[in-house]
Amino acid sequence: MTRILYLQNSLFGADGASSRLSRAFIDGYRDAHPDTEVVTRDLVTDGVPHLDLERAGALRGFSDGLNQAQKDVLARSDAFVQELRDADLVVIGMPMYNFGAPTQFKAWIDHIARAGVTFKYTDTGPVGLIEDKPVRVFAAHGGVHAGQPYETTTVFVKQIFGFMGIRDVRFIYAEGLNMGDEVKHQALARAEAEIAAELEALNITTA
C-alpha cells in the first residue's frame, strides 16, 4: 500500500488551480493503485501558526522548561513530522502569492525543520534524517515566472527538502492562468500532459 501526504495551500481550497492539478495527479495514481491511502493536510484551514518566541522555544529547544502550550506545540510538530516520515509520496499544491510560497507552507516547514529530528549537524556539514521519497509539486502561477531569478519558491522547496534528506523533488507548472482563456487552457493542457507522463513513470517504479 502507498501512503500519500497531500499538502493543500490554496486560499480557494479545492477550487484552486494548484489543488485541482494535485487532485488530478492523486486520482490518477489511485486509479493505478486502488489501495493507496491519502492523508490530506489543508495548511490553510488547519491554521498552522507562524513562529513566535514561545513556539520557537519549544521547537528549537532553547526553553529551559516547556509550559503546557509549548508541549502542545511540540506534539503538533511531532505529528507533522510523523506524517512526512510515514508518506511514500508527497504531493504539494503550490500557488504563488506575491512572488513567493504561501505563508502557510512556510509555517509548516518551520514546524518540521528541526535539528536532531529531521536533520542534524555534523563535523562535515548538515545531514538529512528523512528518508528520500518522491515529492511532486503542482505550482499554479497567474503569470509566467518559472526559471526567472525572482521565482524563489522552486529553489526554496528543493533546498529545504534536500536539507532534510529528500532530493526527489519535481515541479509541474501551470503558468499564465490570469493571462486570458486561451493561455490558461494551453497551460492547463500542458500541465495535464506532464501529470500523465509523471504518473506513468511513477507507476513503472512503484507497481
- Domain spans of the chain, in order of start: 3-206
Mean pLDDT, residues 120-130 taken together: 95
- Let me know if 18 is exposed, middle or buried by CB neighbors in 10 A (0-12, 13-18, 19+): buried
146-202 pLDDT, tens digit per residue, is 888 899 999 999 999 999 999 999 999 999 999 999 999 999 999 999 999 999 888
What is the pTM assigned to this prediction?
0.93
Question: Residue 153 CB: number of other CB atoms within 10 A?
Answer: 22
Whether residue 205 is predicted with pLDDT greater than 50 in this model: the reply is no
11-31 pLDDT, tens digit per residue, is 999 999 999 999 999 999 999
Whether residue 120 is predicted with pLDDT greater than 50 in this model: the reply is yes
| pLDDT value for 169 | 98
Residue 171: which of 196, 198, 189, 148 has the closest Cα?
198
Residue 109 CA neighbour count, 13 Å, CB half: 18
| pLDDT value for 207 | 40
43-80 pLDDT, tens digit per residue, is 999 989 999 999 999 998 877 789 999 999 999 999 99
Spatial separation of the C-alpha atoms in residues 197 and 16, rounded to whole Å: 22
| pLDDT value for 204 | 44
Contact 94, 18 (CB under 8 A): yes
Residue 179: which of 138, 143, 139 has the closest Cα?
143
Amino acid at 56: A
The top-level CATH class assigned to 3-206 is alpha beta
3-class DSSP state of 77:
helix
Which residue blocks in the chain are alpha helix, DSSP H? 17-32, 53-60, 68-86, 103-112, 153-163, 181-206
Q: Find the length of the chain.
A: 207
